[in-house]
Structure 1
Amino acid sequence: MKRLISTLCVSVTLMLAPSVQADLPDFTGLVKDTAPSVVNISTVQSAPSRGGLEFRTPDGEEIPEIFRHFFRIPEQFGDGGGQRKTPQSLGSGFVISSDGYILTNHHVIKGAEQVIVRLNDRRELEAEVVGSDERSDVALLKIDANNLPAVDIGDSSELEQGEWVLAIGSPFGFDHTVTSGIVSATGRALANENYVPFIQTDVAINPGNSGGPLFNLDGEVVGINSQIYTRSGGFMGLSFAIPIDVAMGVAEQLKSDGYVSRGWLGVVIQEVNKDLAESFGLDKPAGALVAKVLPNSPAEAAGFREGDIIQRFNGKPIVLSSDLPHQVGRLSPGSKVNVELVRSGETRRLKVELGLLPGTNEQARAESSGSVAPSGNRLNIVVADLTDEQKNKWNVRDGVVIQRVMSGAGSAAGLVSGDVITMLNGERVESAHQFASLVRDLPANRSVPMRIVRRGSPLFIPLRLSSKN
């Protein structure tokens, strides 16, 4: 009987195996068609000769442990003096037009004195950097060659979770290495990367893959492999690619202008969590909560207010706050856009003309001091009126500064000494006396929004009082 059962199990396995294998993609044809368009990129830079191994970028910055870009770290040994030219195989790229235009990552060619492109036929050509954009991490190169095999450009907006994708690059200098996986997520926002809705995959990516193409099963490029999340410095199953729609938009501007212009709204936003959604009377946590309207910005001119919750921008839904910068940054300065938002529980529509994104973000800087003034006992905090000097330092028009926080509703909400309270339950805070009145009139057993400025950053927090006493 055991032998019969064993025989039956083997038969079932053999019957199932072909059907399972039939569902798996065959990448051989795709690779043959697309690999000739993929190139290796190396650079020559001046680097100080030092003893020992240094984990730094070519311009001297230390590479962080997580979200590190895919540099091949050079072993820089020497006597500690002088400068020397250091050739480095940094990454990959791909041909987007037969007349020699190539896309790669900004960080691959950053600080390079000379960029060398090695083609699939082993030719090595010096490339001109047409333009490079740090915000999107996209660079456009040009080599003097014709009749090159160019990739087919796909539509990254059509990508879906679970879809098969394939990467070709030069990890650790091993040219034309092929790895595959699936799309893990789309529209991913990463720290300090506000203008790229990354494609997350589980494709094996390692140092040297940077700038290489991500293909769909139709052999079309849908992304540029750019970053990994790692604690070890190597692949850990989390890879991120720049959507090709974003990259081609950047490339077109780099080709025509040499730089990239982006739309600018002029608001500081934050995520809407469950408690904040309740405090603003929303059915569910969604949208981008405006924590600050920057002065002299398009948002100020259009009538935006702190506490507005942006839910649709240019006809597209804003589910996460990170969706908004992606949408704004892809539009050109001067674009006129319809915005749908919630203000004081009511839906409103505004029209805004986008400005030009400044080179550096405006940031408020603050510092708290002042004399103690009374506050309502319901929060169990002590606040002070702001002096003109403090308002200038904090870059706020009005509000009160917290001097002391005791155990109670205020501490439970996360308030700390030094916070500046500028708005409570939709009302601007103008003085300690008026703030006490606002606190006195707050409803019990319901979350209300409170806007504060903490260490220069504005944000909303939900505040709940359990009783009217």
Structure 2
Amino acid sequence: MSDRPNDFSELPSYKASRRSLFSARKFALMASVVAGLGVAAYGLSPSNSPVDIFTTTAHAQVDKQVKSQAAQPVGFADIVERVKPSVISVKVNMKEKVASKDDDNNGDSPFQPGSPMERFFKRFGQDGVPPGMRGGPRGGGRGVVSGQGSGFFISADGFAVTNNHVVDGADKVEVSTDDGKTYSAKVIGTDPRTDLALIKVEGRTDFPFAKLADGKPRIGDWVLAVGNPFGLGGTVTAGIVSASGRDIGSGPYDDFIQIDAPVNKGNSGGPAFDTSGEVMGVNTAIYSPSGGSVGIAFSIPASTVKTVIAQLKDKGSVSRGWIGVQIQPVTQDIADSLGLKKAEGALVAEPQADGPAAKAGIKSGDVITSVNGTPVKDARELARTIGGFAPGNTVKLNVLQKGEDKVLSMTLGQLPNTVEAKADIDGGDKGSSSRGSDVPRLGLTVSPASSVAGAGKDGVVVTGVDPKSAAAERGFKEGDVILEVAGKSVTNPGDVREAIVAAHNDNKNSVLIRVRSNGSSKFVAVPLAKS
């Protein structure tokens, strides 16, 4: 190749392209001469000398094509060589507990009972565990259980990131580096809500480490997953970013990057690198009906990792802001019922008594539309935004309250470590349809809550549901307690009917109902029957 920086004339691909184009030119010229149009093939310059249009145009096109190909990576070897030493294999040992009837037959689950990851896999696997992720016999005695995962160094002095579910409950943690050496590690802090953990390896200050990316990946970007699948050690797979902002139902802060790079058991806690060698996310979960990779994996974004790890390093735990409300998405039906132009914001199902929101004047049925002037797209975004503030910070919320825009200021509390929801209905006598009263436009039969044992004093209890009704389609069931209809509190079937009639007279196509079900409140928009 010539020493000139932009001279591609010696490249084999360039020569082949030139030969192909010259042959095409000759063929086109012959065809033109046969047709009596030879001059059109060459054209004439102002001096009547022939100009090789084919050669001139083709030369520029080939130059552009070859330059473009030269700018693209032929493979990922250079990137892998640079980043792979920062990735570690994580092995944990933990004491096995005695199985009990409360384990719900999930003794071989790799995740803690009730954890966000167990709830996620319960949706896609059997008995709370996806096929292919079982770790062997568990329960029925005491012993030592070992597990494996992945991680990566984030500093030269031995701080490393992995998943909470990899090290949760561990008595002993060991890490193996890319050069085959093994070190003991201690758990600095964990955050079950985001499934992140920070561990520390002592004894060295020259560990190779990876940098967390500052930017947000785009859908279609290349991604490299490096980890310890099935205990095989440093393994690299490649794919693309398939989607972003994924909610997999593992918790209120779901904001996963979806990738199609093959990820398997043992990759948990490992990094997902971009083509600049920075960590765009931490691999944490897969969707796998078969137990192996099917091209759907989920990574925690680097932006979340930075925030969480900083707090874990500082104090070993994560403190999040809290306003004390039950919230839900604003669906199109709910937006129509409230007279909203767009199905955006977070609908307050119920403010917690004496919580920051209740003290600031937020009420059931309010829609929170922005925080400190930044629009809130949906309920998940509100949870993530508030959770990103430290307790004690003051925020301003834009709230739509009974059709009026308000700006409310409040000081954030601290999110409790555990939030228990207690059902107000004990499952006792819920009454019978003969005691209730029909609400034909909804397909429900209801009775005053005060007349049903265990239902409390507020609202009306659903004692019957027409299986063909819109209410049944929206999930209403016997034992649910209706607290409000169209923004009005109800205590008897007559109140419900009056609210329905008022909504009908206002030409509403649906009515918004606040219902308490399974211990929590929510709003449901139910279409009104025509008859």
In 2, Cα distance between the equivalents of 1:358 and 1:70? 34
- Residue type of the alignment partner of 1:402: V
Q: How far apart are 1:41 and its partner, in Å?
A: 0.9
Secondary structure at the aligned position of 2:185 is classed as strand
Return the offset for 1:199.
1.2
- Deviation of residue 94 (structure 1)? 0.7
Give 3-state SS (helix, strand or coil) of 1:448's partner.
Answer: strand
Return the index of the structure with the highest Cα Rg.
Answer: 2
Corresponding position of 1:339: 397
- 2:502 aligned residue: 441
RMSD over aligned Cα, in angstroms? 3.4
Q: Deviations over 1:296-331 (max 9, x none)?
A: 211111111111122222433322322222222222
Amino acid at match of 2:391: P
Distance in 1 between the 2:442 and 2:165 partners? 49
Counterpart contact for 1:92–1:169, Cα < 8 Å:
yes
Separation (CA, whole Å) in 1 of partners of 2:528 and 2:452: 32
How far apart are 1:71 and its partner, in Å?
A: 9.1
Out of 302-311 and 343-352, give the one that drifted further.
Answer: 343-352
Q: Which residue of 1 aligns with 2:449?
A: 386
Counterparts of 1:398-413 in structure 2, within 5 Å, are: 398-406=458-466
- Distance in 2 (alpha carbons) for counterparts of 1:27 and 1:428: 63
**Conserved in 1, the CA contact under 8 Å of 2:330 and 2:346?**
yes
- Tell me the residue number matched to 1:425: 486
Are residue 459 (structure 1) and residue 522 (structure 2) matched?
Answer: yes
Letter in 1 for 2:88: V
Q: Output one character per residue of 1:169-201: Cα deviation in whole Å (capped at 9) or x when no partner.
A: 111222221112222222222213212411111
2:253 to 186, 191, 195: 195
User: Is 1:150 the equivalent of 2:204?
Assistant: no
Q: Which moved more, 1:66-75 or 1:93-102?
A: 66-75
Alignment CA distance shift 1:58-1:412 (3 Å): closer
Whether the 8 Å contact between 1:68 and 1:229 is mirrored in structure 2 is no
Over residues 317-363 of structure 1, what are the superposed CA-to-partner deviations in whole Å (9 max), with x where a residue is unaligned? 32232222222222211121122232333332222221111122242
Which structure shows the higher helix fraction? 2
Pairing 1:259-274 to 2, within 5 Å after superposition: 259-274=317-332
**Preserved CA contact (<8 Å) 1:69 1:210:** no
1:30 to 56, 79, 99: 79
Matched position secondary structure for 1:112: coil
- Cα deviation digits, residues 371-416 of structure 1 (max 9, x gap): 83656654454422222986xx55x773112233457675576544
Q: How many angstroms apart in 2 are the aligned matches of 1:133 and 1:261?
A: 10
Question: Could you say if the C-alpha distance between residues 81 and 21 of structure 1 is closer, same or farther in structure 2, counting changes exceeding 3 Å?
Answer: same
8 Å contact kept, 1:413–1:461: yes
Deviates more, 1:223-232 or 1:65-74: 65-74
1:172 equivalent in structure 2 = 230
Query: Normalized per residue, which structure has more strand?
Result: 1
Corresponding residue SS for 1:108? helix
SS of the residue corresponding to residue 36 of structure 1 reads: helix
Gaps of 5+ in 1: none
Q: Does the 8 Å CA contact 2:149/2:270 hold for their aligned counterparts?
A: yes
- CA distances 1:4-24 after superposition (whole Å, capped 9, x unpaired): 9xx98xxx9xx8997896675
Contact 1:42 1:117 in 2 (8 A): yes
Q: Is the 8 A contact 2:109 2:129 kept in 1?
A: no
Structure 2 CA distance for aligned equivalents of residues 174 and 180 of structure 1: 17
Provide the C-alpha distance between the structure 1 equivalents of 2:132 and 2:93, rounded to a whole number of angstroms.
14
Q: Distance in 2 between matches of 1:233 and 1:162?
A: 25
- 1:128 is matched with 186
Query: In 1, Cα distance between the equivalents of 2:457 and 2:393?
Result: 30
Gaps of 5+ in 2: 1-19, 25-57, 100-106
Match of 1:101 in 2: 159
Kept in 2: contact 1:105–1:211 (CA 8 A) = yes
- Aligned partner of 2:102 in structure 1 is none
CA distance, structure 2, for counterparts of residue 206 and residue 252 of structure 1 = 28
Counterpart secondary structure, 1:194: coil
Which residue of structure 2 lines up, in the alignment, with residue 235 of structure 1?
Answer: 293
**AA matched with 1:262:** R
- 2:98 paired with 1:40: no
Tell me if the contact between 2:463 and 2:478 (Cα under 8 Å) persists in the aligned partners.
Answer: yes
CA 1:22/1:411 → structure 2, altered by over 3 Å: closer, same or farther?
A: same
Percent of aligned pairs sharing the same letter: 36
Q: 1:295 maps to what in 2?
A: 353
Whole-angstrom distance in 2 between the partners of 1:422 and 1:205: 46
Size of the aligned set, in residue pairs, is 448
CA 1:94/1:450 → structure 2, altered by over 3 Å: closer, same or farther?
A: same
Q: Deviations over 1:440-462 (max 9, x none)?
A: 32224522311111232322222
User: In 1, Cα distance between the equivalents of 2:465 and 2:111?
Assistant: 48
Alpha-carbon offset, residue 427 of structure 1: 1.7
TM-score of the pair, normalised by structure 2: 0.75
Note if contact 1:382-1:403 (Cα within 8 Å) is conserved in structure 2. yes
The answer to whether the Cα contact below 8 Å between 2:161 and 2:197 also exists between their aligned partners in 1 is: yes
Q: Secondary structure at the match of 1:387?
A: helix
Question: For residues 23 and 324 of structure 1, do their structure 2 counterparts lie closer, same or farther at Cα, with a shift above 3 Å needed?
Answer: farther
**What secondary structure sits across from 1:275 in the alignment?**
helix
Q: Does 1:57 align with 2:120?
A: no
Matched residue type, 2:459:
G
